[in-house]
């Protein structure tokens, strides 16, 4: 079996040790000369290929076991990476090719080919190979499983995205319906209750003049007039909360100024409002204006209820075709990001997204709250 390797060692015991080592290896091992002919092969390699060892000796290994790709397309000998070891004098390790058996079947193989050197001269190559069919099958199964999993994840993600978009559309639709219902209720209150209060006030004033000679009754009527005025003021605030009239008639910027004036009058907060003339000349669409108004209204309500602030400012700057609106206070602040966002914050952010905007909050305990709304709306 090792007759052609006598130049490597003339010692029979040493050759026997080499034979024992080769035969004990679980992988296939064979050697080739510079013509690609087999000069030795171990039993494991011969059995893997379906030959007896003596049937392989002296045969060109490329044409015997490495002649074709897995699709049976012929592999030119100059492309053979097994032979490259002695042609280029460097090792090759490959796990993406097949070797062919005696019966014409092939198997996925992993092989390594290294040059055999006699001193500095390359005299052949030694090749180790193993059958990795089972490993390749598992890799393909894992690949297919991963592909199926990714497809399912993509499908579920698309479904969740569609559901999320539907929920956002529904939220925007419900917000529109809510604003329409508020406007309808506000009109009814203004037309019915407002007219009744006005008529009642006129009648009470007439009655007071008729009772000029009765101071006690006039005092009682004065209390009734004060109560009527209080009810009218409360009704006006309710109407303004439902649908600010100034928003419909004078626009968003005047409505925000009125909102701050009312907050300062009711709470004593020092309120500042910045809206340059170039911003005042801009108009948003009706839906965008009511959405921005509601966001600022919610932010100011939070300042009033929770911030314990002394002052609050609102600035509206139109820049590069978009709106930057900021609400800042000097209150106690809160930790962000919150582990559990309130429905108020979620609602404001959904309102902002519905009109193509983005609402960000910046706060820390003791450092106040800064809310910024960025909006790039189409021209109204």
3-state helix, strand, coil in the chain (%, to 5): 55, 20, 25
State the pLDDT at residue 13. 67
Instruction: Give the residue range(s) of CATH 3.30.450.20 domains in the chain.
Output: 3-131
Contact criterion met (CB below 8 Å) for 191 and 373:
no
Residues linked to residue 31 through DSSP beta bridges, in sequence order: 40, 126
**Angle separating helix axes 286-302 and 133-188, nearest 10 degrees:** 90
State the pLDDT at residue 3. 46
pLDDT tens by residue, the chain, 380 residues: 344 444 544 556 666 777 777 787 789 999 999 999 999 999 999 999 999 999 999 999 999 999 999 999 999 999 999 998 888 888 999 999 999 999 999 999 999 999 999 888 999 999 999 999 999 999 999 999 999 999 999 899 888 888 877 777 777 777 777 777 877 787 777 777 777 888 888 888 888 888 877 888 888 888 888 888 888 888 877 877 777 878 878 889 999 999 999 899 988 899 999 999 988 888 888 888 888 999 999 899 889 888 888 999 999 999 888 899 999 999 888 776 554 567 778 888 888 888 888 999 888 888 889 999 998 855 44
In the chain, what is the straight-line distance between the N-terminal and C-terminal CA atoms, in Å?
93
Query: In degrees, to the nearest 5, what angle opens at C-alpha 68 toward C-alphas 4 and 109?
Result: 70
Q: Is 310 helix (H, G, I), strand (E, B) or coil?
A: coil
Instruction: Give the residue range(s) of CATH 3.30.565.10 domains in the chain.
Output: 250-380
State the pLDDT at residue 159. 86
Distance CA 269, CA 277 (A): 25
CATH fold group of domain 250-380: Heat Shock Protein 90 (3.30.565)
**Closest by CA position to 45, among listed 122, 110, 102, 129:** 129
Tell me the whole-structure pTM to 2 decimals.
0.54
Contact criterion met (CB below 8 Å) for 75 and 68:
yes
State the pLDDT at residue 192. 74
CATH of domain 3-131: 3.30.450.20
State the pLDDT at residue 9. 44
């Amino acid at each position: 079996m090792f007759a052609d390797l006598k130049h490597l060692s003339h010692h029979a015991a040493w050759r026997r040790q080499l034979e024992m080592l080769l035969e004990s290896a679980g992988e296939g091992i064979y050697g080739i000369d510079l013509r690609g002919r087999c000069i030795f092969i171990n039993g494991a390699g011969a059995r893997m290929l379906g030959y007896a060892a003596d049937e392989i000796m002296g045969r060109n290994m490329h044409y015997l076991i490495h002649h074709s790709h897995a699709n049976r397309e012929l592999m030119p000998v100059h492309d053979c990476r097994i032979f490259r070891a002695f042609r280029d004098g460097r090792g090759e390790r490959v796990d993406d090719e097949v070797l062919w058996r005696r019966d014409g079947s092939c198997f996925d193989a992993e092989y390594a080919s290294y040059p055999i050197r006699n001193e500095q001269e390359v005299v052949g190559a030694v090749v180790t190979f193993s059958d990795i069919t089972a490993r390749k099958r598992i890799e393909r199964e894992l690949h297919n499983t991963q592909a199926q999993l990714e497809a399912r994840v993509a499908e579920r993600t698309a479904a969740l995205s569609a559901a999320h978009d539907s929920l956002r559309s529904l939220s925007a639709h419900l917000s529109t319906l809510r604003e329409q219902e508020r406007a309808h209720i506000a009109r009814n209150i203004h037309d019915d209750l407002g007219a009744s209060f006005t008529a009642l006030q006129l009648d009470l004033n007439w009655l007071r003049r008729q009772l000029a000679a009765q101071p006690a009754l006039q005092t009682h009527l004065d209390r009734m007039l004060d109560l009527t005025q209080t009810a009218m003021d409360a009704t006006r605030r309710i109407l303004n909360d439902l649908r600010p009239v100034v928003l419909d008639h004078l626009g968003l910027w005047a409505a925000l100024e009125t909102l701050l004036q009312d907050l300062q009058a009711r709470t004593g907060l020092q309120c500042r409002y910045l809206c340059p003339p170039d911003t005042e000349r801009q108009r948003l669409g009706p839906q965008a204006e009511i959405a921005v108004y509601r966001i600022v209204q919610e932010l100011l309500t939070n300042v009033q209820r929770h911030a314990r602030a002394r002052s609050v400012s609102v600035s509206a700057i139109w820049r590069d075709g978009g709106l930057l609106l900021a609400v800042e206070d000097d209150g106690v602040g809160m930790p962000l990001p919150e582990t559990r966002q309130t429905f108020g914050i979620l609602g404001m952010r959904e309102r902002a997204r519905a009109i193509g905007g983005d609402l960000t909050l910046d706060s820390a305990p003791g450092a106040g709250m800064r809310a910024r709304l960025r909006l790039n709306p189409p021209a109204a």
